[in-house]
Structure formats: C-alpha cells, structure tokens
Amino acid sequence: MAVIICEAAFDPWQAVQNHQNSQLADGQYGATATFVGTMRDFNEGDDVCAMTLEHYPGMTEAQLEQIIDEAKNSWPLQDALVVHRVGEILPGEPIVLVACWSAHRAAAFDACRFLMEALKSRAPFWKKETLTDNSQRWVEKNTDGYSH
Amino acid sequence: MAVIICEAAFDPWQAVQNHQNSQLADGQYGATATFVGTMRDFNEGDDVCAMTLEHYPGMTEAQLEQIIDEAKNSWPLQDALVVHRVGEILPGEPIVLVACWSAHRAAAFDACRFLMEALKSRAPFWKKETLTDNSQRWVEKNTDGYSH
Amino acid sequence: MTVNVKFFASMRETLGQSELRIDIDTDTEQTVAGVWAQVAGEKPMPDNTVCAVNHTQATPESVVKDGDEVAFFPPVTGG
Amino acid sequence: MTVNVKFFASMRETLGQSELRIDIDTDTEQTVAGVWAQVAGEKPMPDNTVCAVNHTQATPESVVKDGDEVAFFPPVTGG
C-alpha cells in the first residue's frame, strides 16, 4: 500500500506499472481497477488555464493512509496505490491516481470507487483556479461523483 | 472508440497511454477509469500453468462494438477502449483491458464497470486451462463480478 | 439453400468439427434447431448451448436464410 | 500552554497568515473554538470551517492540550 504526494507532473500509467513491478507478484492478482483525474481546461462554464493545489503536509498523508486502511478492512485487496499531485498544474496534467489490486474484479472496482469518493470528501487538498483573464478563484465545493 | 483483439502479450498501461495520446485532446477529459484482468496462477483451488483463449472472429468484435455503443448511449463518454487477448496465455499476463474517458468520474466508473460485466456475459471468448499435471479443462462458467 | 455452420470451444471438440457448409432443401423454411438436427444427427442440443446467426445471438426458433452463418457454442467465459 | 495554529487555502488568505504559535493560560481548559477566538479576535469562525487537532478532524468543542497542532481550513476540494 502506498501514498505518494507529488510536486512535479507524473505519468499515472507509469506509476501503476512501477508499483506493480516492485510490489506485486505475477499470477497473484487477477483484477486491477484504476481511476485517473486529469485537469480539464474548463470548469463551471469558464476557461481555466492553470490550477494550484495546496495540501496540509502530514495530515493529508495520514488521511489517505486512513482511507486505504478502511478499504483494506472492507474488501479483500492485495494492494492499493494513491498518487496525488500538488503545486502548479496545467490542463491535461494528471491530478490524482487511485489503483486497486485484488483477486476479484468486484473488490477492485468497489474499493477503487470508495477510495476516490473518500479522497474527494476527506483528504485535505484545495484547488485554486487561474482563469484566462488571469483572475484566480478558490474552487468552493467538489462535485458529487454520484450525481455528476 | 476502439476494439482490439490481440494475439500476443500486451502492456495494458502502454495501450491506455497510446490510445490517449492518439485519440484524446489534452484538457478535454477529466476522468479515466480502467480495468485490467490478469491471468492468475490459481483458479477454483487448482494450480493453473497456462490458458488458451478462443474467440469467434467477426462476432466477438461485433459484440464488443455493440456493448460500447450501449455504454455511449447510457453515459456521456468521450472515448472507450477494449483490448482482449486471445491464444496461449501465461500467468501474470493481461487478458483484458477496458478504459473509459469522460468529463466526470461517475460516468467513467459506471461505464467501465458496465463494459466489463457485459463483456464477461456476452462477448464470445472461451477459456481452456492447463493445470500443472498437464491436464486441460474448459472453464465452464464465468464468476459473477458482483458477488465474488 | 446453403448455410455455413460453426462450432466453438468445448462444442467444437465434442462434435469433432469446427466449420462446415451444408445444403438444405430450399422449399422448407429452416430454423437454427433444424440446422442443428441436420449437422448433429440424433445428438440433442445441450441445454446451455448459445446460438448465433450472422454474428448476432439467436434462439433455436430463429429463421435461417440462404447464405447465413449459424454458430453453436457454450456459455462465454472471457474477460 | 503553547499551541501551534495553522490556516490553509482561502482561510490562510483571508486571515493573512499561515502559521503561528500562541501561548494560552494553562489554568483554563481550552477548546478549538477558544483557540480560534484567541487568534482571530472578533472575526467569527465561518460556518463551513473544518477544524483538525494533530492531523485528525475535530470540532469546535474538541479539547486542545499543550503542544497540540490546531488547523483551520475550508471544505476540501482535491482529487
């Protein structure tokens, strides 16, 4: 199980590959579910040209580990990986990766979904958008994944 | 939207990356959900050392395209990719990849799950396992993703 | 009329053939079950057999026309 | 007692400070709300403020001890 807070742009597919190669034994897992959140160049009808992601060093990692523990207690997971970007982000760059490995696909799917929803509602990260007219605004409220 | 039937081992993360680079515009998608099914070296309590995957050329592709069309009609998808291996497969090798791109994570998650369940129940593929004593057996019934 | 018939997986092995072309009396409207009877003889169609006509899932009652491809196979187990 | 106080995101900008160390009369049992009052003065805590004590989410009524880290921030928006 791993939590990575990342200040530079990262390649989520390479991160999944690396984690799998170093942490998982071939033939032991049958199902891998992943989710990648990527920065769009539009939000709430406005053009967004950059974003800054702030976090709370120490608490953010602790919260993510807590969420992973909850997932481990609810599903038979072989492994889980969470990578979250902080700092200056440009459109098209990945913001978050969640990956879950299990013997069975229901556990992998359900745990991956749980981790994303829990991360969005409980992990201390804050987004500030820079619009094309150079104005900045704090994102006030995360979208609800179940209704949007 | 793409369906790929693949006779040689494939790297699912590279396949996602390639599809994304060639088919999707940066900044237009916010959510990518993927599922990878990988061959395990155990099943139903027995040690499995190899597997042969048979398909129905023509019908398999048509069924997968039909399933993707159903997903497009149910969720606001920007793109979807299905890659499925056929032929001789060894433990640790990927069998199937499903990837969905959308603006929102609920659509990406739900469509990815739907595609996997529909593929497992409707796409013409058949697995034959080779056990460590060299005996072979056809897999009779797919596991139910929702209950296993 | 001429019909192309295919078998897959365990059904291919049980029947000992993967593909054949058969000629059917054109005066009779033919069904998938009729095609099975012509190629499998006395052997009844297993209960869990899946049938397809021209790459689309069908039933034993589905009508078969000249030039159609009819396939028989066990429940799918991919993914 | 001494308490370390942190503010994040829009709250950090509104209050114009990100971190400070405050001394509180040790004879009084202190709460998160009490810490807020000491650092923000008359300014009431916004309704949607999230509080944490030592990296664990807390409430305005949570008790604060010597050496604790107390944080105030708006609802989270990551992922």
Helix (H) or strand (E) run with residue C38 in it: helix C32-40
pLDDT tens-place string over residues B35-94: 999 998 877 777 889 999 999 999 999 999 999 999 999 999 999 999 999 999 999 999
pLDDT tens-place string over residues C25-62: 867 789 999 999 999 988 999 999 999 999 999 999 99
Task: Return the pLDDT at B144.
Answer: 63
B96 closest CA partner among B19, B1, B9? B9
Chains C and B touch (3+ CB pairs under 8 A): yes
* Nearest Cβ partner for C76 among B96, B116, B126: B126
Q: Once rounded to an integer, what is the mean pLDDT over residues A113-140?
A: 95
What is the domain partition of chain D in residue ranges? 2-73
Beta-carbon separation of C8 and B126 below 8 A: yes
pLDDT tens-place string over residues A2-47: 999 999 999 999 999 999 999 999 888 999 999 999 998 877 777 8
CA distance B35 to chain A (A): 5
Beta-carbon separation of A119 and D79 below 8 A: yes
Is 80 exceeded by the pLDDT of residue D26? no
Q: Distance (Å, rounded) from C-alpha A87 to C-alpha C32?
A: 63
Give the C-alpha distances (Å, rounded to integers) separating B60 from B86, B120, B124, C20: 11, 12, 5, 20
What is the average pLDDT value for chain A, to the nearest integer? 93
Q: Is B8 helix (H, G, I), strand (E, B) or coil?
A: coil
Residues 39-58 of C with CB under 8 A from B: 52, 55-57
Domain C2-73 falls under CATH 3.40.718.10 = no
Task: Return the pLDDT at D10.
Answer: 96
DSSP-assigned letters across all residues of A44-84: TTEEEEEEEEEE-TTHHHHHHHHHHHHHHHHS-EEEEEEEE
Beta-carbon separation of D78 and A116 below 8 A: no
What is the average pLDDT value for chain B, to the nearest integer? 93
Q: Which residues of B touch A83 (CB under 8 A)?
A: none
Q: What is the ipTM of this complex?
A: 0.93
Residues 6 or more apart whose Cβ sits within 8 Å of residue D70: D3, D4, D5, D6, D32, D35, D51, D52, D53, D58, D64
Q: For residue D60, count other CB atoms closer than 10 A to its CB.
A: 13
* Length of chain B as a residue count: 148
Beta-carbon separation of A31 and B35 below 8 A: yes
0.90 cut: is pTM over it? Answer: yes
Task: Return the pLDDT at B28.
Answer: 86
* Nearest Cβ partner for A26 among B29, B91, B109: B91
Give the C-alpha distances (Å, rounded to integers) separating C58 from C33, C43, C44, C49, C71: 11, 20, 17, 11, 9
Task: Return the pLDDT at D41.
Answer: 84
Q: Which residues of C touch B139 (CB under 8 A)?
A: 77
Largest Cα–Cα separation, chain A = 52
Is 60 exceeded by the pLDDT of residue A148? no
Q: Once rounded to an integer, what is the mean pLDDT over residues B21-46?
A: 90
Confidence of residue A146 (pLDDT cuts 50, 70, 90): low
* Residue A127, both tokens: 């987004």
DSSP-assigned letters across all residues of chain A: -EEEEESS---HHHHHHHHHHHH--TTS--EEEEEEEE--SEETTEEEEEEEEEE-TTHHHHHHHHHHHHHHHHS-EEEEEEEEE-EEE-TTSEEEEEEEEESSHHHHHHHHHHHHHHHHHHS-EEEEEEETTS-EEE--SPPPTTT-
Chain A to chain D Cβ contacts (< 8 Å)? 72
Beta-carbon separation of B27 and A40 below 8 A: yes
CB contact at 8 A, A95 and A85: yes
Q: Is C70 helix (H, G, I), strand (E, B) or coil?
A: strand
* Nearest Cβ partner for B27 among A11, A13, A91: A91
Is 70 exceeded by the pLDDT of residue D23? yes
Q: Once rounded to an integer, what is the mean pLDDT over residues C8-16?
A: 95
A80 closest CA partner among A113, A128, A125? A113
Give the C-alpha distances (Å, rounded to integers) separating D27 from B40, B46, C58: 63, 68, 83
Beta-carbon separation of B145 and A105 below 8 A: yes
Q: Once rounded to an integer, what is the mean pLDDT over residues A104-119?
A: 97
The class that CATH gives domain B2-138 is: alpha beta
Q: Counting Cβ atoms within 10 Å, is residue B5 exposed (0-12), middle (13-18) or buried (19+)?
A: middle
Q: Is residue B133 less than 8 Å (CB to CB) from chain A?
A: no
Q: Distance (Å, rounded) from C-alpha D17 to C-alpha C4?
A: 79
Instruction: Specify the DSSP class assigned to residue C11.
Output: H
